[in-house]
Chain A
Amino acid sequence: MRPQDILTPQPAGLCCKVGGFHIDPVRPVERAVITHGHSDHARAGHGAVLATRETLDMMRLRYGDNFARSTQAIAYGEELRLGDVTVKFHPAGHVLGSAQIAVTCENTRVVASGDYKDAPDPTCAPFEVVPCDVFITEATFGLPVFRHGDAADQVKKLLASVTLFPERAHLVGAYSLGKAQRVIALLRAAGYDAPIYLHGAMEKITNYYQSRGIDLGEVRPVKGMKKADLAGTVTLAPPSATSDVWTRRFPDPVTAFASGWMRVRARARQGGVELPLVISDHADWDGLTATIRATGAGEIWVTHGEGDALVHWCKTQGLAARPLALVGYGDEDSGEDETADEGGDA
Chain B
Amino acid sequence: MNRFAELLDRLAYEPGRNNKLRLITNYFRVVEDPDRGYALAALTGALSFKHAKPGLIRDLIAERTDPTLFALSYDYVGDLSETVALMWPKATQSPPSPACGGGEESARHQSRLHNNPPPPTLSEVVTTLRTLGKTGMPQQLSRWLDDLDETGRWALLKLVTGAMRIGISARLAKTAAAALGGKDAHEVELIWPGLTPPYLDLFAWLEGRGEKPVNLDPAPFRPVMLAHAIEDTDFANLNPADYIAEWKWDGIRVQASSGRDAEGHVVTRLYSRSGEDITKSFPDLLPSLHLQDFLDSKLDDSRKPLHTFRHQASFAIDGELLVVREGRVQSFNVLQQRLNRKAVSPKLLKEYPIHLRAYDLLDDGEIDLRDLTFAERRERLTVFVARLDDPRVDLSPMIAFDSWETLAAARRDPASAGAGEDSGAVEGVMLKRRDALYLPGRPKGQWWKWKRDPHVIDAVLMYAQRGHGKRSSYYSDYTFGVWTGTEDDAQLVPVGKAYFGFTDEELLQIDRFVRRNTTEKFGPVREVVHEPDQGLVLEVAFEGLQRSSRHKSGVAMRFPRISRLRWDKPPREADRLETLEQLLKDPALSEASESGSD
Contact = CB atoms under 8 A, between A and B. Distances in A.
Contact of A290 (B19, B65, B69, B108): B108
A144 B10 CA distance: 23
A164 B10 CA distance: 12
B473 A312 contact: no
Given A149-B149, A264-B82, A272 B466 contact: yes
How many B residues touch the partner, as a band? 35 or more
B100 A316 contact: yes
Contact of B13 (A252, A264, A268, A313): A268
Interface string A291-326: 001000000000000101100110011000000000
A253 interface: yes
A289 interface: yes
B3 to A, nearest CB: 11
Interface in A141-160: 143-147, 149, 157
A147 B86 contact: yes
Given A144-B65, A285-B104, A317-B102, A273 B524 contact: no
B77 A274 contact: no
A248 interface: yes
A312 B19 contact: no
Contacts of B26: 164
Contacts of B198: none
Interface stretch (A51-59, A99-107, A239-247, A333-341): A239-247
B236 interface: no
Nearest to B15: A274
Given A145-B86, A270-B523, A253 B472 contact: yes
Contacts of A76: none
Contacts of B524: 270-272
A265 B19 contact: no
Contacts of B76: 143, 145, 264, 306
Interface residues of A, number: 44
A269 interface: yes
Given A265-B12, A309-B73, A289 B87 contact: no
A274 B473 CA distance: 13
Given A145-B77, A266-B79, A309-B72, A248 B86 contact: no
Contacts of A313: 66, 69, 101-102
B105 A309 contact: no
Contacts of B77: 145, 264, 266
11 contacts: A144-B73, A253-B472, A255-B472, A265-B82, A272-B466, A274-B15, A289-B102, A309-B68, A309-B69, A309-B72, A312-B69
Interface of B: 6, 10, 12-15, 19, 22-23, 26, 65-66, 68-69, 72-73, 76-79, 82-83, 86-87, 100-102, 104-105, 108, 149-150, 466, 468-470, 472-473, 515, 523-524
Interface of A: 143-147, 149, 157, 161, 164-165, 243-248, 252-253, 255, 263-266, 268-276, 285-286, 289-290, 293, 306, 308-309, 312-313, 316-317
